[in-house]
Each structure stands twice: as C-alpha cells, then as structure tokens.
Structure 1
Amino acid sequence: MTRTPLRPLARVLDARARGENPKAIERENIRQRHENMKDRARARAEGRLLVLGLFFFCAFSVVGVRMGMLATSEAQEPLASAPGAAIAMQRANIVDREGRILATNLDTYSVYAQPPAMIDPNAAADQLVAIFPDLDKERLVKDFTGTRKFLWIKKRISPEQKQAVHDIGDPGILFGPREMRLYPNGRLAAHILGGSGFGREGVSAAEVIGVAGVEKQFDDYLRDPANGNKPLQLSLDLTIQAAVEQVLYGGMKIMNAKGASAVLMNAHTGEVISAASLPSFDPNDRPRPPTSGFDPSDSPLFNRYVQGVYELGSVFKIFTAAQAVQLGLVNSETIIDTSGPMRIGRFPIGEFNGKNYGKISVADVIVHSSNRGTGRLALQIGARRQQDFLEALGMFEPTPFEIVEAAGGEPLKPKKWGELSTVTISYGHGLSTSPMHLAAGYAAIANGGHYVSPTILRKNGAQYGPRVMSESAAKQAQNMLRRVVTDGTASFGDVAGYDVAGKTGTADKPKPRGGYYDDKVIATFATFFPAYDPKYVLIVTLDEPSIVAYGEKRRTAGWTAVPVAAELIGRIAPLLGLRPRLEPEARAAITLTSN
C-alpha cells in the first residue's frame, strides 16, 4: 500500500506562493486518511457480521432439523455413556436346501420400568397384570415401591401388547428395541434348529445367541456381521421334513410308542434330508430342561436320533454278513448251520421264539434273522477284525453330524471285547449306538462300500469317504436286504414301484439299574430305496411300541416300525423326485374268431 505524506512539499511550496496556509493541506490529508480508515474498518466489520450470521443460521438450522426428527420419531431411552463394545444384534437367516426360511429375525420391543419416575405404581401394576397375566402383582408393587432404580418387565412383547402398555401412560414405564429370533414353521425341524436366547442385554439392544442345535453349532457364523446377507443353508428339505414329521407322529400314536425318530439321508452325499425326533417342541417358546430325577428321554428336548444311544438289535446283522463276504469267508449262498445248542461260556445263544432254522444260506440267515447263524459268522471273523470294521463305519465315536447334541451321543462299547461280546454284537446287543450312526452304516452298503459322513449342510455331488467294503460285498448285502422285505421279517415294508430293502431290529430295552425289561423294546427298521439303484437311507425307530394285531400284542419291528417306514417311503419318494418302477401288467388274451 502506498502511503501519502500529510504535507507534500510541492503542494506546500505552491500554497505559499499563492499566500495560502500550508497547514490546511495537512488537515485535509488527515481527514481523507481517517475517512479511508473508517471505510476499511466498516467493510471488515460487515464481513465478520456476515460470517457470524451464517454460522448462527447453520447452527439454528441443525437444531431445528434435529428437533423435528425427535418430534416425529419413536422416543428412546438414552444409554449411559460407558466404555465397551456395542451389542451386535443382526443374525444371519437359516434356510433349507431350496432357500426357504427356517429361522429369521423380527424387530420387536422390550418393556422395562424406572420406579423413581413412576406416578402411580399400584395402578400401573394392576394394568400390567391385566396385559401380562403371568406377572405377579404383589411382586410388581414391591419392586415399584422399593429401592430399585430399574427392572425388566418383559423381554419381548407383541405390537398389540406394546400399544396396551403405552396406553397406561406412566412415564416410568419405557420401551427398548429388540431383535428376536423367529422360527416361522413352529415345531418343524425343532431339534435341528435348536433355538436361541438373549446373551448380553442393554436397554436399547440385546445379543441373540444360539442355545442348541445348529443355532449353537454355527453361532459364530450366524453372528458374524459379514454374513448378515448370506444365510446358512442346510441340507433339509422343508416339504419332506413336514411329511416325515406328520407320518411319524401318526405312526407313534397308532403304535402306542413313547417316542419315535426318523432319519432320511442321501446315501452318496451324506446329506440329511430330514431328521425328526418325537415328542418335539416349538423353538419359538423353547421349554426349560427337566429337573433332576427324570429320564432324559422324557423331555421333548431330548434328540433321539443323535442323543439316543440304544442297542438296536438285528439291524446290525447285515454288517456281520457283509464283513464275512468282504473277507472271503463266505458268500451269500454259503451254508451256515444255525442248529442249537450254542453256548459261549455259560451263556446260551438262542433264536427268537425258540426257533431252529437248521442249515441255511448266509442270505437266509439275514432273511430269517438268525442269532446263531450271525454269531457263528462273527466267530469266524474274530473280535479284532470285527472291531476294526465297526470302527471304520464310525460306530465307536460320536457322529460328526453338525449339531451340538451329537457330541453327547457317544456309543457304549463293552469294556472287555471277548467271544461273548463278539457274538452278541453281531446281532445288535452289547454295543449301543444312535440311529444316525446306523444311517451312516447302511449308507455304506447302499452306495457300494464307501463311508459317508452325515451332514446337515447342503453339498454338491458325492462325498465319498474311505472304502470300507468291496463293491461286490456291498451288492450281495443289498440283495440280502431286499430279500428281507420280499421274503422275511419286513414283508409289510414293500412299497410298489420303489423296491425297498432293509432289516428289522427289535431290542429289549435296558433298565436304568441294569438288566432288561420283559415288555419294553426299541423297534427299528433300517432301509434304503430304491433297491435297484439305492439313493436314500431311512432309519425309523420307535421307543416302547405295542399294538394288538390278530388278537395278540405285538412289539417287534416287523409289526410296528416297518409299516410306519413303508408309509413314509410312499409319501416322500415322489417328493424326492423318484419315479416308481412299475412292472407292466399282462395283456388280456384276445382270440380272433370269424363269423
């Protein structure tokens, strides 16, 4: 900036020459300088006022917008500021093999109270009890009028209940947002899904955690925010599961059974298409575990197809026959002497109802379900080789099926595996396993000799494990099991067009303190279909069945489990996309005559 002098020399000399006072020039210059300084100060002040005005305008706009949002949105109780991780609410969906929802999330509310802010605790307690009849009025009044600063009233409420509580109008009763787990199909596949509950809880959020089934097994995956839009896909088929549970429930009631289970598994992939355990429960309202003093199997939470380890009886005989064929000791036509007596030490080995089949083929040993015939095959195999074979079939460890309850279903083996155990285990006594173990064992026969691991996750293509028997041994075993249905103890199990193959098993039920009941059994039918091209394994087990037929009380699997399995196969085979193979009917003979 150029500074103008107050008394320029040229102007002073010119003014003196004209007889004027030079100080007037200085006064004029001072005035002009002051005017310029005032103009600059005014401009600077006006700029500052403009900036300050814009700042206040923006601030008041933000406050106004926020006040408008608060006025039009749902009121929320602010959380106290505290260090710690935020509570994760979102949980991934669970779907079946076709993408249909099995478990999802639903936004709801909780209701809680801050007693110091309440106006009329007694009236509020009366109205809350009217809305929630399970609440204790005296307890509410005591809490509302005591020293408590906070208490939950209900962790989850419906929209109708929320409106009713809102109408009470007490400022000490407040709402908090919640995300609850919803199982839209109710009891369907309850033991697979398991259920969920709340973990860490805050006023404005609650952590949903799995408590059983796949919800707990895959809890980390389901809670991972990265998987929020990627559901957990199971191998279950919702339509088939519904059919299985419906038929199984009807069969359990008709056969007067205490409980029932069914496992349907793909013999080549290990995928469990359906798994049912009855009695069941609703995971939306999961019951509490029973208190001490009860048989665990009395609880609807008990999962019979993985937690239920039973001596499954004669369904094990085919493993003995298949191993004997595999070792080259026999083939299906080899003659075995099943005549008595047969003793192992001081223990006699008898047949059902005291029968004596004499000298019959290995195939007929399975068809007639001969204990002595199977026992003599087992003695040829030997204890060590028998153990190795059953271990290869997964019979000595908990099944790898991916639900948390499966780890508790550990098979029960004899402490000393001598000749007696070798014989009794050959026909299904002395070794306790679950129906899921049995399904994996029969899958190895059905798929040509490969072990497959049962899985609840959807797979693509065959998932063969190690080979446990030759294809020839598996094929001979398949043919034997087909004959059990056409000529043996499972004659009620045939389904037109699907060539069912399988084996019955009726095992006396053990007493809690040792020994066996005389009138209680576990009846099992282990089957695969269609026999000409095995694709699916089905295991049906009934706990304590009993039915009167032809004037007699019947408990054996041929009279109880087999008809239920046949009804199941007839219902689900079309749903699985299996077309029946029907033999063409003979054409009527036509004779041409001439008039």
Structure 2
Amino acid sequence: MIRTPLRPLARILRARETGADPDEIEAENRARRHAEIQDKARRRAEGRLILMAAVFICAFGTVGVRMGSLAASEPVEPQAQASTARIMSQRADITDRNGMVLATNLLTYSLYAHPHQLVDAENTITQLTRIFPDLDPARLRTDLTGDRKFLWIKKKISPEQMQEVHDIGEPGLLFGPREMRLYPNGHIASHILGGSAFGKEGVSSAEVLGVAGVEKAFDGWLRDPANEGAPLALSIDLTAQAAMEEVLASGMSVMNAKGAAGILMEVKTGEIVAMASLPDFDPNDRPKPLLKGDPSDSPLFNRAVQGQYELGSTFKIFPVAQAMDLGLINPNTMINASSPMRIGKYRINDFHNYGGQLSVTDIIVKSSNVGTVRIAQILGPDRQKDFLEKLGFFEPTPIEMVEAPTGKPLVPTRWPAVTSATVAFGHGLAASPLHLAAAYATIANDGRKVTPTLVHRRTRPEGAQVLSPQAADLAISMLRQVVTRGTARASEVPGYEIAGKTGTADKPRPSGGYYENKVVSTFASVFPASNPQYVLLVTLDEPSINRGGGEARTAGVTAAPVAAELLRRLAPLVGLAPITEEKLPEIAARFEPRVEQTAPAAVKLVANN
C-alpha cells in the first residue's frame, strides 16, 4: 500500500507560488488519512461481529438440535464406566423361589499397614494380637519391623474391630472399604450355595469370586453388569430347606449315622425344593478341603450330588417297570422266587426265603432279590443297560453345580450275567442320591424324563418318553403297596399316600469286598401316589440303631422313619394338604383295576422255569 505524504512537495511549491496556505494541504491530507483508518477499523469490527454471530448461531443450533433429539428419544439411565469396573462391580444376590435372600453383599473394611509410618511398632503388635487373637505375634513383628512398605493384616474386619484398631491411634494402620459376600442363613443350603472368596484385590476394593456350588457355576452371570443387579432365583424354598436340614440332623443323630442326604424335588419340573447334605458348614467361614483321607469325611463333601453309593433295593423297580413296559410281565405275573439261586459260581439269596413263586407286585413289596434277578434275566443285559442309560445312570447329573461332574456314576465296564443280576437289585452300580431322585421322578412323571434343576422357572425342552404312562402308573401302584404292607411301613403318613422303596446296601471296602457292619440305607419315594407331585429321598451313611436287643441297619427301620418325619414337616410347607376321607373311595377305585390283570401265558412259562 502506497502511503500519501501529508505535505506533498509539488503541491506545497505550487501553493507558495499562488500565495495559498501549505498547512491547509497538510490538514486536508491528514483528514483523508484518518477517514481511511476509520473505514478500515469499521470493516474489521464488522467482520468480527459477523464471525461471533456465526459461532453463537452454530453453538445454540447444536444445543437446540441435541435437546430436540433427547426430547424425541426414549429415556435411558446413563451408565458410567471406569477402568476399575471389573473390581468394583457388585455381585448379584441369590434368592430362594420366594425371594428370600440366600446370599448378598455387605460393605466392610480391610486393614493394612505401612510399616515405615508406624510410630510405636511394639505397642501396635501388642494391640493387634489382642484384637485379632489368630495373628502370630512373631510373624507380625518380622513383617512390621522389616523393610516391607505394605502389609495386609486382615482382609475383612467387623465394625467393632475397626473401632478398636482406630483407637490404637497409629498413622501406619489404614482401612480400605470393600464389599464381602454374606450368607445370612449360615449353614442352611451351604452345599448348594458353595461359598465365595476374594480374587483380585486392592486396598479399596476386592473382586468376589465363587469357589463352589451355584456361586461358582453362575460366577460369570452373578458378576455381569449387563444383568443390572437382578438376583439369581433358585428353586429351593428356604423354609423347606431349613426344615429338611433340622429333621435330617435329628435323624442322623438318632440313627447314629456318619452322614445323611435328603432331596425334595417337584415331579413335573425337576425343580429341587430342598436338598441337604450332612455334615455341612458355614459358607461365611468355609473350611479348607481335606488333602488326604476319605473325601466324604469333609463337611465340604456333598453327599446328595457327589456321593457314589450302591443304592440297594431302590433299583428293583427299574427292571420291573421296564419289563411291564415291554409287555413281558404284569403285576400278577408269577415268578420263581426260590432262594438261593446260582449264576455261575455266584449265589444270590433273599433276606427271607419266600419259597416257591411270588407275583411281580409281591417281589417289589417283599423286596425279593431272586425274583428281581429273574425279571432282569427276562429283559437281558442289553435292554437293561439301555433303560438305565435313558434314566441317566451313566452320566453325571446336569445340576447347576460345579460338583456335579465329580458325581458321575461308577458303571461296570463289562456287563456279564452276574453284573446284570446284581445291578437289578442295586449292587455293582454306584450313583448319587440325586440320580436316584431324578429316576423316580421320571417314573412319577408318567415315564417322561425329568432333569433336576436348581433354577426357578427355567424354560427347558420336554424330556424324552422313556417309559409308557401305563407302566409308570403300575410301578407307582407297586411302590404304594411297599408302604402299606411291605418293607417301608414305617414311612406311612396318613393322608399323603406315600409310595416308595427301601434300599440297604453294604458299603464296599477300599481294598475290595464289603463291610459286614456298614451299610448305606436309602428310602426313595413319591407322593401322593394317586397324583404324584413330589419325590422325597433320604439316604443315611452307616446308620445303626439298637432294636430288639441288637443292632438294626436296614432302611426300613432307619431311613424310612426319617422320611416319614420329613414328610410331616415338608408337605404343609409346600402347600400340600392331606387327602380327606371323602376322596378315599375315588382313589381306591383308581388302584383297583390293576389287580385284575393277568399275565400272558408265554411269560408265565418263562417265570416258572
């Protein structure tokens, strides 16, 4: 830009020649220059105003558009994310089927130390060992007076302990807030819940991980923030569970048993209403597992799921039901029950010698080993194995517990004639009580396979039809007669039509053979027989009771009475009213036609050979 001089020489000289004033020329040029400067400043200011207006329009326009989009969208709760969400995320509660809390979270504090900040280490050691008697003073002195910069003292402390530590007044003792898992019902349902422990830890938080039971099986689900804290609803009923554990504990004491297991299961859904294993433990203070010896000696051992027992005569209903399903026999078919019978070099006896022949119904009622083996021989080993496999006795139960795979039945690798015979009356194949409960539920469910579950109202595909409804109905009728006039009379509870089978099996020695004075007694039952709704199973490990001047161990005098007391306590809790006298004629008529059936002639010939 060319700057115009205020006093141009040519004009000044010309003004002097004409006598004009040169200062006027300077004033004129100065005025013109000021006008140009003002115009330039005005244009710059206008540009800035336009730019600022554009910025404000864009900003307010963006805010307006965002407000409009939010107003038109569905309301959503904002969720903050942080790098520590994996540790800080809350573990979901576990409840029973009625919403009663079985496991929840509790805010507590951890105690840690910065040894280099301690003012009086000796006094601190004295006070800490007073507050926490389980601390080792020598170990604590080594840790607090050494070169360590950080030391965990207690991973969780009570409010009272926190106050006592605070009163010590040491700046080197610090607290960190964290959540811990709390089981408010103590021992109740301990084997089902399993327990939890701390995983990844920080001074202000800790990751809670399941270590057993459903806590471990559903660990990922319970810690998943996507579930928004929804509780895991189990199928068990807390009140029924508490009652079962109380009655089992009393029965275990009266029968001098080493352990006990009980299961109450819905027939139609497979949902477990109560399941107990004794001895048990407190998941708030879970004991350490045994490193040697018999695993069943540990309170952590779940006898209902992990126990592998030969379940004795409770198995006898399976070959009978299968043979009736195939049309080979019916309840009145006469079977040769002469005792003893021989299979190769092995001899099979009955508890009593019934002599001659027994009807199929009486074989179950009197619990004849010989008669059951005769029926198994009619079936043949292949068909027998196939049926037991369909009932689930060859694989672990699919129950939602990490312990389930350890309860896989012990099935013979070979299936010769003698194995087929012993398995028919419950020896030679070891399974868990839960396997047996599921198999009885299948029979009670009109022969349709029942899969046990611990989750309430879980939708699952319908089970396969493994037994015809007619054969299943006849089997329940026979089990009912076991209670009314057979080996399980001690289990009868008026008004509840219990149908079941006792089973007493000698315990095998680890070195081979069987103990002479140690048994596992079991009572598996269905009720009410006219409309099966529940399966109830009781197993006692090594029971023994003085009776008639001697020791009695059979299930009829040990497991059956305990089951009767359980039924008295549990049936009202699940809303099952006793059958009134007005309904008895109707029920009797329902069972009467079964007695009138006759066996096919061909079957009679086989049975009499």
Compute the TM-score of the two structures, normalised by the length of structure 2. Answer: 0.83
Q: 1:180 to 1:24 in 2, by over 3 A?
A: same
Q: 1:5 to 1:92 in 2, by over 3 A?
A: farther
* 1:87 aligned counterpart, secondary structure: helix
* 1:505 aligned counterpart, secondary structure: strand
* 1:262 aligned counterpart, secondary structure: strand
Q: Aligned equivalents of 2:248 and 2:449: distance in 1?
A: 27
Query: How do 1:314-463 residues align onto structure 2 when only pairs under 5 Å count?
Result: 314-352=313-351, 354-459=352-457
Task: Name the residue aligned to 1:78.
Answer: none
Q: 1:461 to 1:218 in 2, by over 3 A?
A: closer
**AA aligned opposite 2:91:** R
Consecutive unaligned residues in structure 2, runs of 5 or more? 43-82, 585-609
Q: Aligned equivalents of 1:504 and 1:297: distance in 2?
A: 23
Q: Aligned equivalents of 2:413 and 2:22: distance in 1?
A: 137
Q: CA deviation at 1:142?
A: 1.1
**AA aligned opposite 1:340:** S
* 1:180 aligned counterpart, secondary structure: strand
Residue 214 of structure 1 pairs with residue 214 of structure 2: yes
Q: 1:388 to 1:20 in 2, by over 3 A?
A: closer
Query: How do 1:155-194 residues align onto structure 2 when only pairs under 5 Å count?
Result: 155-194=155-194
Residue 523 of structure 1 pairs with residue 521 of structure 2: yes
Q: 1:6 to 1:239 in 2, by over 3 A?
A: farther
Q: CA deviation at 1:464?
A: 3.5
Quick one: percent identity of the two aligned structures? 59
Q: 1:199 to 1:28 in 2, by over 3 A?
A: same
Q: CA deviation at 1:23?
A: 10
* 1:379 aligned counterpart, secondary structure: helix
Compute the TM-score of the two structures, normalised by the length of structure 1. Answer: 0.85
Query: How do 1:30-109 residues align onto structure 2 when only pairs under 5 Å count?
Result: 86-109=86-109
Q: Aligned equivalents of 2:187 and 2:340: distance in 1?
A: 51
Q: CA deviation at 1:29?
A: 8.3
Task: Name the residue aligned to 2:286.
Answer: 286
**AA aligned opposite 1:347:** Y
Checking the alignment, whether the CA contact within 8 Å between 1:118 and 1:170 is kept in structure 2 is yes
**AA aligned opposite 1:522:** V
Task: Name the residue aligned to 1:497.
Answer: 495
**AA aligned opposite 1:305:** A
**AA aligned opposite 1:534:** P
Q: Aligned equivalents of 1:462 and 1:506: distance in 2?
A: 35
Q: 1:489 to 1:128 in 2, by over 3 A?
A: same
Q: CA deviation at 1:232?
A: 1.0
Q: CA deviation at 1:100?
A: 1.2
Q: 1:17 to 1:172 in 2, by over 3 A?
A: farther
Q: Aligned equivalents of 1:137 and 1:330: distance in 2?
A: 75
Checking the alignment, whether the CA contact within 8 Å between 1:222 and 1:228 is kept in structure 2 is no
* 2:423 aligned counterpart, secondary structure: helix
Query: How do 1:254-269 residues align onto structure 2 when only pairs under 5 Å count?
Result: 254-269=254-269
* 2:177 aligned counterpart, secondary structure: strand
Q: 1:433 to 1:23 in 2, by over 3 A?
A: same
Q: CA deviation at 1:334?
A: 0.3
Please identify, of 355-364 and 472-481, the stretch whose mean Cα deviation from structure 2 is larger: 355-364
Q: 1:26 to 1:107 in 2, by over 3 A?
A: farther
Q: 1:532 to 1:6 in 2, by over 3 A?
A: farther
Q: CA deviation at 1:384?
A: 0.5
Checking the alignment, whether the CA contact within 8 Å between 2:176 and 2:205 is kept in structure 1 is yes
* 1:458 aligned counterpart, secondary structure: coil
Checking the alignment, whether the CA contact within 8 Å between 1:91 and 1:228 is kept in structure 2 is no
Q: 1:418 to 1:476 in 2, by over 3 A?
A: same
Q: Aligned equivalents of 2:173 and 2:29: distance in 1?
A: 80
For residues 380-427 of structure 1, what are the alpha-carbon distances to aligned partners after superposition, in whole Å with 9 as ceiling and x for unaligned?
100000000000000000111110001100111112210000000000
Checking the alignment, whether the CA contact within 8 Å between 2:338 and 2:353 is kept in structure 1 is no
Q: Aligned equivalents of 2:548 and 2:348: distance in 1?
A: 29
Aligned-pair Cα RMSD in Å: 2.9
**AA aligned opposite 2:405:** A
Consecutive unaligned residues in structure 1, runs of 5 or more? 41-82, 587-595
Across the two proteins, how many residue pairs are aligned to each other? 538
Q: Aligned equivalents of 1:285 and 1:463: distance in 2?
A: 38
**AA aligned opposite 1:197:** A
* 1:257 aligned counterpart, secondary structure: coil
Q: 1:118 to 1:462 in 2, by over 3 A?
A: closer
Q: CA deviation at 1:247?
A: 0.8
For residues 212-257 of structure 1, what are the alpha-carbon distances to aligned partners after superposition, in whole Å with 9 as ceiling and x for unaligned?
0000001110111112421111111111111111111111111111
For residues 133-181 of structure 1, what are the alpha-carbon distances to aligned partners after superposition, in whole Å with 9 as ceiling and x for unaligned?
1111121111111111111000001111112112222121111121100
Q: CA deviation at 1:429?
A: 0.3
Task: Name the residue aligned to 1:53.
Answer: none
Q: CA deviation at 1:356?
A: 2.6
Select 1:477's aligned residue among 475, 484, 494.
Answer: 475
